[in-house]
């Protein structure tokens, strides 16, 4: 199935802040990544907003993990993952299938009170 590209999707994908946020996220620089994604989220309306919010929640979940708040991380992993799976055709060009599969493994570890880091934190890649 072909993914839909809306004007909002194209604008976000071409926004240098989006690329910066992806770079920060992939570098595991969670707080700055959160800040940039949050800025974009506030400026976004429509279905793309769900995708941005999901990624934002995953970044915050990682912050919670770093600070030892496993409950907060578990809740935000679940909420973020739910939003990313719902984003469907408005994925902003990101490869969300593999990303969500990896996040599900980490969430399962958290829910079982086990170490999520046995599964590497996935990166966000733009599909070409």
Both tokens of 47, joined, read 């279905």
Quote the number of domains for the chain.
1
Residues 26-71 have pLDDT tens digits of 999 999 999 999 999 999 988 899 999 999 999 999 999 999 999 9
- Residue 42 located in a structural domain: yes
Q: Does residue 19 lie in a domain region? A: yes
E strand or H helix that includes residue 66: helix 48-66
Residue 65's domain comprises 7-114
**pLDDT tens digit sequence for 98-119:** 999 999 999 999 999 999 999 9
Length of the chain: 128
Q: Is residue 21 part of a domain?
A: yes
Question: Tell me, what CATH number does 88's domain have?
Answer: 1.10.3450.10
Confidence of residue 8 (pLDDT cuts 50, 70, 90): low
**94 lies in some domain:** yes
Residue 126 lies in a domain: no
Within-domain flag for 22: yes
CA distance 50 to 84: 7
Tell me what pLDDT residue 79 has. 97
Average pLDDT for 4-25: 84
If you search the block for the tokens 């809740």, which residue do you land on? 75
Q: Is residue 60 part of a domain?
A: yes
Task: Say whether pLDDT at 16 is over 90.
Answer: yes
Q: Is residue 125 part of a domain?
A: no
**What is the pTM (predicted TM-score) of this model?**
0.90
């Amino acid at each position: 199935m072909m993914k839909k590209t809306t004007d909002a999707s194209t604008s976000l994908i071409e926004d240098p802040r989006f690329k910066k946020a992806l770079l920060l996220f992939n570098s595991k620089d969670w707080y700055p990544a959160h800040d940039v994604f949050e800025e974009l989220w506030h400026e976004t309306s429509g279905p793309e907003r769900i995708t941005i919010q999901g990624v934002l929640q995953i970044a915050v979940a990682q912050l919670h993990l770093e600070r030892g708040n496993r409950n907060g991380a578990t809740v935000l992993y679940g909420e973020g993952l739910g939003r990313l799976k719902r984003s469907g055709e408005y994925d902003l060009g990101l490869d969300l299938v593999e990303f969500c599969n990896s996040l599900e493994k980490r969430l399962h570890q958290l829910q079982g009170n086990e170490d999520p880091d046995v599964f590497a934190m996935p990166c966000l890649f733009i599909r070409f």
